[in-house]
Structure 1
């Protein structure tokens, strides 16, 4: 069963429970006794709580739908590097592209840092097996690609297969860079 089907099923069950509590409240109120009034009020409160929970779930679903679409950016950067231990040698440079996701559509300092981390992680994947020191990571261009769900962004054109681009969290990027033996200062430079 899909998540959406589960949500529909759960909503129906909560609505049914709220109606049942309404029924119990009516039955206890009809007894016209102090004990019946207490039980009626308790059941009214439970029915109210059930409906309030549904409103919170509706709000969460709307928030989830708005967050589901995120702005994707293509980032082009230049990695300046040198072989480890060759401080006298001339540095080399390579152009690298990566994608960065912004949940709110803005590309502020945090996204710039993530872009530099993602560029360096892409560089180390490409240069796997070589011991290199990153001297600088220069962002040369940032192009907004639009708002997509991950499924939309990774959808293959008809008749083609596309390897999904996995959105990396800051922690995942840090782990990848740590595994590559590099650390990044908060400003993004190695």
Structure 2
């Protein structure tokens, strides 16, 4: 019976982590918040690119740099069930409330949590350039474009057949991808 319990605990941990691994690879010596189990749980210390110690925080606290625990802003108190943007650990992370209980979640690679739609969406990297029309990296090759507002794509379109390519210099659809020097990404 105890072997079965241990196996179930190991399986639950593996499922909860979902392939995420705390890592010191490429990091200078210091402390970093754990993101794999939610930012409000613990931090880890790196020395010579190896995890040497974990620092655990108490309930409803967030692990900050240098092992200091601060109060979490993310909370399900008084909120209906659903997904919410994380204030403690913003995109691509978000949290889910279910009957008052909070669980942290992560969007798929190349996606971020959109606070307006409350969904993970493909991240239009060109929206970082500012508001307006930009080429789409999530769309249909060189023929897609988006209108960006506040760092998010609010309108996603494809160029029509007679002019199937979006020119990132003039922000209009053109007849050939070579007219404006390709996709621009």
TM-score w.r.t. the length of structure 2 is 0.25
Q: Decide which structure has the larger Cα Rg and report it.
A: 1
- Of Structure 1 and Structure 2, the greater strand share is in 2
- Of Structure 1 and Structure 2, the greater helix share is in 1
